[in-house]
Structures are given as C-alpha cells and as structure tokens.
Amino acid sequence: MNEIFQHRIKVLFQHCDPAGIVFYPRYFEMVNQTVEEWHDSGLHHSFSKMHMESGHGVPTVSIGAEFTAPSKMGDVLTWSLSVLRLGRTSAHLSVKARCGDQLRMTATPVLVYVHMGSGRPVPWPEDIRSRMSNYLDAGAKLPD
C-alpha cells in the first residue's frame, strides 16, 4: 500500500518577511512540523515520547529544497510526505507544500534513527519500519 501523509498549515504573520511572503527558513520549520505530525498521526509513534522517554531521535542529516512559487500570509498549504528510500537506519523523504494545485516548495530531508546517548545510528524498530514502508513512494526502493 502506498500512502501519502497529508496535513495543512495556514501561513501566519510569524512565517512572513516584510513583503508578506514566507521567509524561506520558515518553510524548514514547516517541513519539520510535517515530519513530527507524520510520526504522531501517520506512524502512531509519538515524536515527543521517542525523544523524551525512549532515548532515541531522528535528526535530519541532509536536506535539499526547491522553492517554486511564493506563499503569502493567509494561504493554506497542504503538506504531503512520502518515503523515497527506507534504509536500515535512515529514511529519505519527499515533503511537498501545495496551495490548491500549485506546488510551492519541495524538500528532501534524510532522517537517521539514533540513540540519543551515543548519537550513533541504530536500526529502526521493526514496527515503526513496517509502518514507514506503507508510505513508500511507488518508485521508491528498499535497500538490497
């Protein structure tokens, strides 16, 4: 099954520069919000419990971005997330923001599951990895 996680974020004054358009670093905050929402709602794996109780985390180790059209205060962006590649300890994601049919921004974060004490990568727990695989993009690959 190839699901796409989606949620919506309204562009607020706090997101904008003096021209009234989203200041590009704020998009990265919205990308992170999308990843957190996906963990909580899509994976049923509390982001806060993972970080605060289980001693694990998912730092972003790499991210690419393309800004295709400006977003303005009051726009409601639909954010979508899919998994491009799922490794033993990492996940390559595609996160897109649209306003209506118009693509506004695409990000490609890479997350790594780590033990917070050592900071070293550890394998995804099998239950989480299994739920993540439901979001694999149709063209995505699992490692050999």
- Mean per-residue pLDDT over the chain, rounded: 94
- Residue ranges and CATH numbers for the domains of the chain are 5-138 (3.10.129.10)
Name the H helices within the chain.
24-37, 47-52, 126-133
Side-chain-side CA neighbours of residue 114 (13 Å): 13
Mode of pairing for the β-strands spanning 110-112 and 65-67: unpaired
Taking 80 as the threshold, does the pLDDT of residue 138 lie above it?
no
Does the predicted model carry a pTM greater than 0.85? Answer: yes
Taking 50 as the threshold, does the pLDDT of residue 50 lie above it?
yes
Taking 70 as the threshold, does the pLDDT of residue 21 lie above it?
yes
Identify which of 9, 123, 131, 30 has the alpha carbon closest to the alpha carbon of residue 74: 9
- Give the pLDDT score at 2: 81
